[in-house]
Structure 1
Amino acid sequence: MIKTISNDYLTVNINTLGAEVTRVLSNEGVDYIWNGDEKYWKRHAPILFPIVGRLINDEYTYKGKTYHMGQHGFARDMEFNVVDEKTSSITFELKANSETKELYPFDFRLEVNYELVDHKLKTNLHVFNEGQEEMLFSIGAHPAFNVPLNGAGNYNDYKVELANKKSYDEIFFKAPYADFDSIKSINLTEPVYLSHEMFYDDAKVLKINDSEITSMLSSDKTEHGVSMTAYNTEYGGIWSSKDAPFVCLEPWWGITDSINSDGKLENKVGINRIDKKTDFEAKFDLLFF
């Protein structure tokens, strides 16, 4: 079911399946979110939980038991309940159930809140541990934006630049896994212009080190664009499907398995831990202009 929130500037459609934003339309008619054309990629802006990326052999072990789970976890393919709905904000909820327990042994509650404030869509991913033992998880977001926007210019006319202009550690992939032995420093004091070829090997991933980061997608061919500010995030990804007319700006609190992973969830790189009856918040804002 599609739910809608709106204000004087933006209208946002969100699917209860996956609590996924499927469209952001400005009152000027600018359509920002990728349309989900299956020729390239059928999704729009999925929520990644309880893992980010791929597991080695799509499986992991925990307390001696082996569990199977596909890329980016199961939340993006599950129906969420709406627990609060107003004109410009909405909250979705997914709870552990018999289906999730087959894939993931923890008693969790995941709340996804969207709120429109002027030209900004604020997203809060709130993870609750409702069990009696420590809970292990990763979480992230995967929003895709149309490139070009409203047909203005070509793909290569668009650039991504960081407000935090400095050098970052870039994590290289032996797709679909991360090779942490090949981390290199990349200077991002200047904008990065998009090309389809830059994504042929997989995503471009930066180590953010639990800090705030703002990235902006824009072009000299249009006055419109998107900026994302993610808070206390560990990793940032930039990705597109092969030759597709979109780009994803992805905040992650977790990452795909290392090529050297031993398959144990407690040893997984980028895993978060919260004690019983505690919670974890992951936040990011999208500013549409």
Structure 2
Amino acid sequence: MLSLENNQLKAVFSQHGAELQSLIDQKTQKQYLWQADPKFWGRHAPVLFPIVGRLKDDQYQLNGQTYHLKQHGFARDLDFTIVDQQADRLTFSLHDSAATRGIYPFAFDLQISYQLTANHLTVTYRVKNPTKSKMLFSIGGHPAFTVPLANDESFDDYLVEFQPVGNYQKIPLVGNYTDSAAAQTDRMAGIKLSHETFKNDALIYQLKQKTVLELTTSAHQHGVLLDLPATDYVGIWSPYPAKAPFVCLEPWWGLADDRQATGNFTQKTGLHQLTSQQEFAAKYTISIF
């Protein structure tokens, strides 16, 4: 295990999936990150690449060939290389291989960096296309946060607040797939949580401006801030009907297949495209209080 720490925060990581595995307040020793109890969900904060969500029948077509790719892609299940390690920063790297090209026929350079500053952990994704051909991909985060954070609280004491308050397009899920035709605009200030909130799976919102999500109680005694400066979508999820003691706040640059998707990868909703030698960069910041 690898770690970054200062007098406010300690973050622990694994090379497997370049995954954040622990986020502890140094003063209170409170653990903010879900500890991957397999009874509910055996992950902490996986990286979603080269797709977000699920493909229809876990497959897609590209250049006359059919490829099979499971939900959220393969990066979360591969070992990364450490390319930079400093007192306040850690960078992991993953490249394509014969195995990845068999299910995703693109060359890629993926870097995931973690920067610790005070009570903030900034996560940065960099995707580079090293070839002369265009590259198609999505990427996203899936951090899960402990709810409740105190023994005298319940899951229902928590809410997710949106800043700024305003109109956000909500994209519903039908089974594993999005239903863009049924998307509607909701005026969002906050979501009062209960396990029933997730009876239809994740809540998905399109973001068109800098957005901050705050996961906290009505008393605002402690919680998590997720700062999303330029994120395409956010998913909010907890497994139902399991009554799991965590909530995921997920910044996405991509979406699951639409229920009307044809399987043609070039037409997939939410994909990003890179031309030769072009690089994509995106980031988000987790803050605790």
> TM-score range with shorter-chain normalisation?
over 0.9
Residue 200 of structure 1: how far off its partner (Å)? 1.7
Higher strand share: 1
Whether the 8 Å CA contact 1:254–1:269 is kept in 2: the answer is yes
Secondary structure in 1 matching 2:156: helix
Whether the 8 Å CA contact 2:235–2:251 is kept in 1: the answer is yes
Whether the 8 Å CA contact 1:4–1:12 is kept in 2: the answer is yes
Match of 1:6 in 2: 5
Secondary structure in 2 matching 1:188: strand
Whether the 8 Å CA contact 2:237–2:248 is kept in 1: the answer is yes
Q: 1:152 to 1:227 in 2, by over 3 A?
A: farther
Match of 2:87 in 1: 87
Secondary structure in 1 matching 2:20: strand
Say how many residue pairs are matched: 286
Amino acid at match of 1:74: F
Match of 2:15 in 1: 16
Distance 2:130 2:152 in 1: 48
Whether the 8 Å CA contact 1:18–1:79 is kept in 2: the answer is yes
Distance 2:152 2:158 in 1: 10
Whether the 8 Å CA contact 1:171–1:205 is kept in 2: the answer is yes
C-alpha RMSD of matched pairs (Å): 1.0
Whether the 8 Å CA contact 1:152–1:221 is kept in 2: the answer is no
* TM-score, structure 2 normalization: 0.97
Match of 2:197 in 1: 198
Match of 2:225 in 1: 227
Match of 1:268 in 2: 268
Residue 151 of structure 1: how far off its partner (Å)? 2.4
- Provide runs of 4+ in structure 1 moved above 2 Å: none
Map 1:1-289 to 2 at 5 A: 2-27=1-26, 28-189=28-189, 191-209=190-208, 211-220=209-218, 223-242=221-240, 243-289=243-289
**Bigger shift: 45-54 or 180-189?**
180-189
Distance 2:8 2:16 in 1: 25
Percent identity between the two aligned chains:
38
Whether the 8 Å CA contact 2:159–2:218 is kept in 1: the answer is no
Give per-residue Cα distances to partners, 1:129-177, cap 9 Å, x unaligned. Answer: 0111010000000000000013241000001001110021111111110
Distance 2:24 2:233 in 1: 28
Q: Which runs of 5+ in 2 are unaligned?
A: none
